[in-house]
Structure 1
């Protein structure tokens, strides 16, 4: 096979591929390799492009051994200022002017990151479940022993056990909800729903909670229905979560407002949109926490969150639901002033995707 034929063959490979000659100089690189390692790498010594002892040793072994076969290894390489986890295959290649080697690089960084996320998720779930389970087991042991006949202690412990069991039940419910939302995230809702009706129902359902907290929920909605393409149950879940969070973490006697605004052109969504903002008058959140608020189990104040019955999954669920609706979630907060959570959804009325409300 001639050099141009080799070039055509590796150019068709979707993963990054390089070819070196017997002097370990780069003589071929496909489009994926040029994007990964940068343009202008041909003719350079291989060791100046891929600086990894294991990969360099594998190339030398393939070039130097008559019977050498393919060498496969996992490596962490530094490429244009980035550290990448790659699976590398180094294979002997016969060139017209002697022996060469072909290298294929499979970028496994995203797979490794996903695996790390899975491990972290399992560890977090185990910790969140173990804490109330340990408490329950301890109280059961006490009730069977020293507190068997102590009615006051028994009632107090049973109340604590009920709260801990409720906490586990909420956690399991949120985990199932998150799983369902993630499974549906690629399926865009096609049903028209009245967004203002959903918001009014959420505010009405949380009014008793607001009264119990000595707070007020204010809804500033247009008089006419506003239709968006959405899943009504999931949208209720989004705004129920945001308003309930505002009541939990707002000041006693404060106000949580739910307001609506039309956006003529939303740059990220590249078109008209509607924005629903839930604002509280709480303590506010430091800026360093804002980028991580939608991570699973991330809490600004772990102790307070658990006392309030939070599972650490609410905003993660909100984020995935908003993503499914092709919208965006914007979070703003100022210490001592409060927080604003804005859900921005595409406006189908201006894109020809409107539909009559069905719920």
Structure 2
């Protein structure tokens, strides 16, 4: 019995239509003879029946298709397009159907993998950069102490103090990297411990009282009288508020005040329910709004020189963001140059059971 070519073509359309990722078929005359809905969305609804070079404009991909049509050899290539202003990456696999059948192209979206790879490369580069400066300083001072300053007691004391500071800087960076790693590992595990955030805040403020006094900063609190009940990890939330209040003390300027205020919100539009808002406000030089969306990125600093002078690693707010993500909360930052800054921690409010 002679095979029915129409039945075969109908079956090919049904199979390609059932594949969720963009998939299309190109015949030996270089025309697109079948494509599914996902491929139409990627290449355009008029791609059907066109010569493939009209729809596929990536030179390397066109060359791969031409070669596979000639020799029926399977190939894979990365295909990049721009969608809504963003780069999207596809791994495209080319496979001939039988000896004389059409060439099947399937597109696998690997944008997340590409972005994750770029993030890893950026992270390694940033860590290397952050470590290189103190390491270079330590190596330079060691060489000086071995040579010109071998008998200079005064210089030795001065250099050793600087070396201790650089070593402490590396220690803080390694500590923050380990902390960030732990927080990211637990980010999808929601805390189940019921706690009163008032206790966490009071501990953070007590721990930072000496730093505030050294900087002539007054810590003012308005936490109300009602219990501030949340489900949370006390150690991680202590880390959040210690980081925010410490930043406010250091960057808010000497002889200023830092206010910590608790507010209840009957309905937060983002959390879609009752929320507790803890605001840490300072009266320092403020932050240019252009920096605000990126402040929680790893190693991003609005003022790199000042941050390093004050011992910042560039990871504190990234750690805060991941901790709040774990607690199903969020961080809202508002500031204007010359008007100080406000960091609002917003967490789901836990009501007492009736």
| TM-score, scaled relative to structure 2 | 0.91
Whether the aligned pair in 2 keeps the contact of 1:295 and 1:316 (CA below 8 Å) is: yes
Give runs of ≥4 in structure 1 deviating > 6 Å.
none
- Please point out which of 65, 72, 76 is paired with 1:72: 76
Is 1:206 matched with 2:208? yes
1:292-312, CA deviations, whole angstroms, 9 ceiling, x for partnerless residues? 111111111111111101111
> Where do 5+ consecutive residues of structure 1 fail to align?
none
| TM-score, scaled relative to structure 1 | 0.90
Deviates more, 1:137-146 or 1:113-122: 137-146
CA distance in 2, matches of 1:14, 1:233: 44
Q: Which residue of 2 aligns with 1:51?
A: 57
CA distance in 2, matches of 1:308, 1:39: 57
Q: Which residue of 2 aligns with 1:29?
A: 35
> Where do 5+ consecutive residues of structure 2 fail to align?
1-6
Superposition deviation, residue 231 in structure 1: 0.8
Whether the aligned pair in 2 keeps the contact of 1:74 and 1:86 (CA below 8 Å) is: yes
- Please point out which of 327, 330, 343 is paired with 1:328: 330
CA distance in 2, matches of 1:246, 1:78: 41
Whether the aligned pair in 2 keeps the contact of 1:191 and 1:229 (CA below 8 Å) is: yes
Aligned residues: 347
Q: Which residue of 2 aligns with 1:170?
A: 172
Superposition deviation, residue 83 in structure 1: 3.2
Asked which structure has the greater RCO (Cα within 8 Å, sep 6+), the reply is 1
Superposition deviation, residue 49 in structure 1: 2.7
Superposition deviation, residue 72 in structure 1: 1.8
Superposition deviation, residue 271 in structure 1: 1.6
CA distance in 1, matches of 2:213, 2:84: 57
CA distance in 1, matches of 2:47, 2:219: 62
- Please point out which of 228, 246, 263 is paired with 2:248: 246
Q: Which residue of 2 aligns with 1:18?
A: 24
Cα distance change on mapping 1:133 and 1:61 into 2, 3 Å: closer
Superposition deviation, residue 23 in structure 1: 4.1
Cα distance change on mapping 1:323 and 1:25 into 2, 3 Å: same
- Please point out which of 210, 225, 250 is paired with 1:223: 225
Superposition deviation, residue 248 in structure 1: 0.6
Whether the aligned pair in 2 keeps the contact of 1:200 and 1:219 (CA below 8 Å) is: no
Whether the aligned pair in 2 keeps the contact of 1:50 and 1:77 (CA below 8 Å) is: no
CA distance in 1, matches of 2:282, 2:175: 26
1:269-294, CA deviations, whole angstroms, 9 ceiling, x for partnerless residues? 12221111111111111111111111
Deviates more, 1:113-122 or 1:23-32: 23-32
CA distance in 1, matches of 2:270, 2:26: 43
Is 1:6 matched with 2:12? yes
Q: Which residue of 2 aligns with 1:347?
A: 349
Correspondence list, 1:78-227, <5 A? 78-79=82-83, 82-93=86-97, 99-227=101-229
1:103-155, CA deviations, whole angstroms, 9 ceiling, x for partnerless residues? 11122222222111111111111111121111112222222222233222222
Whether the aligned pair in 2 keeps the contact of 1:192 and 1:228 (CA below 8 Å) is: yes
